[in-house]
Structure 1
Amino acid sequence: MKRTLTVVSAGLRLPSSTRMLADRLADAARRELEGQGTQVDVNVVEARDHAHDLVNYLTTGYPSAELRRVSDEVAKADGLIAVTPTFTASYNGLFKMFFDCLDDTILVDKPVLIAATGGTGRHSLVLEHALRPMFAYLRAVVLPTAVFAATEEWGGGDDSQEPLLRRIQRAAGELAREVNRQESPQIEDPYSDPVPFERLLDGR
């Protein structure tokens, strides 16, 4: 069986520690799934690449073709990895805007691994105070282990990264188990069973 993971990264700069964390989580989840005999496709969505389309959609109500494509990737994914930088003790505006633009049923029962980056470990509560409540509201299956990476955890050699790597591995294992436990999403085509034109005309 083949599974699909979609990764949403809301980093604003290139290179980005947010994207770096997203890639490490995706790689770890892929290894876990492949170790269980599951083929995996990973799709990465950089929210910054869709910033203008997101603003246009929020102000006009009409998504671009590219934004519809990205929304479909999220909808069809067996699991989601969502990573944001920490801004003013919360997710950044781009991250929130991306999920505001999705249909509010897309994440129902979908396994979601939440993660964040920040300048200091004191910001780690953003995961429990901001991200987890948002995805719980969207009725996603939010995994128990959330991953926060502070700036100091990226430097100083393997020893300083060891706690972060352990958290990444634990979260990836949880995501792989939950993805394999669930059926793949069945996406309904709203145009597959159109109302006949005659019925529209007769007013019933």
Structure 2
Amino acid sequence: MRTLTVITAGLSTPSSTRQVADEISAAVNAAVTARGEALEVTTIELRELVNDLAQVFTTGMSTPRLDEVKTLVSSSDGLVAVTPVFKASYSGLFKMFFDALDADALNGMPTIIAATAGTPRHSLVTEFALRPLMTYMRAVVVPTSFFAATDDFGGEEGQSLERRIARAAGELANLMVASNDSVGGLGGVTAEGQGMTRRRKTGVDPEENLVPFSELLAGHDGNS
């Protein structure tokens, strides 16, 4: 079974950001199922982690709940990240969460990025803000991003958005199903410019940073 984690930074209830997140996850579920795999979806509402994130950034100490989410994210086969647009970019809450992750938490993670806003003037936020953030964290972001303004819900524009979601979901499903090199959920990917495997790290367990002697001694025959 494949696993998908959905991160949504919506603040209101109901939330258009959560609505978009649910529509994307449903499309990914359909796309993965069509490829002969089962999918388990977990949705994380970042507004429920506000106190946990505040503690991390004010004390440097994580919380059991936040550690649980970090482990869940890094062990997933795919990620959907959706944020409302605040001041022409992703929200502060959204950024706080990804700042709290280990630098290697998303290595090689197949990812869909999406954003919601009140006006279509912010339609390029996925490319100018979200994609650079995820690329910096070495996630594999699918070509099709998703943006929805208030006027996009319903009508002809809504149908266009549905087609875009379906295309992004298909791209993500292809990556998730084709990824067979995961080990214990924390899959390895080839790091840029390196001939070695770079594994994801949750940042929760200090032993994750220990390099096995077999790797330290790789290429050495004992002769100095």
Same fold (TM > 0.5) = yes
Specify the alignment match of 2:100 in structure 1. Answer: 101
Specify the alignment match of 1:82 in structure 2. Answer: 81
Amino acid at match of 1:49: E
Gaps spanning 5+ residues in structure 1: where? 195-204
Task: Encode CA deviations 1:58-97: one digit per residue, 9 max, x unaligned.
Answer: 1111110000001111011000000000011100000000
Task: Encode CA deviations 1:15-42: one digit per residue, 9 max, x unaligned.
Answer: 0000000000000000000011101000
Specify the alignment match of 1:150 in structure 2. Answer: 149
Q: Distance in 2 between matches of 1:120 and 1:165?
A: 18
* Equivalent of residue 163 in structure 1, options 160, 163, 167: 160
Gaps spanning 5+ residues in structure 2: where? 187-200, 211-224
Cα RMSD of the aligned pairs, angstroms, is: 1.6
Amino acid at match of 2:160: P
Please report how far the alpha carbon of residue 160 of structure 1 lies from its aligned counterpart in structure 2 after TM superposition: 3.4
Amino acid at match of 1:154: F
Specify the alignment match of 1:132 in structure 2. Answer: 131
Specify the alignment match of 1:55 in structure 2. Answer: 54
Paired-residue identity, %: 49
Q: Distance in 2 between matches of 1:22 and 1:143?
A: 16
Q: What SS does structure 2 have at the residue aligned with 1:53?
A: helix
Give the TM-score normalised by structure 1. Answer: 0.89
**Regions of 4+ moved over 4 Å:** 188-192
- In the alignment, is the contact (CA less than 8 A) between 1:6 and 1:73 conserved in 2? yes
Specify the alignment match of 2:192 in structure 1. Answer: none
Higher helix share: 1
Q: What SS does structure 1 have at the residue aligned with 2:123?
A: helix
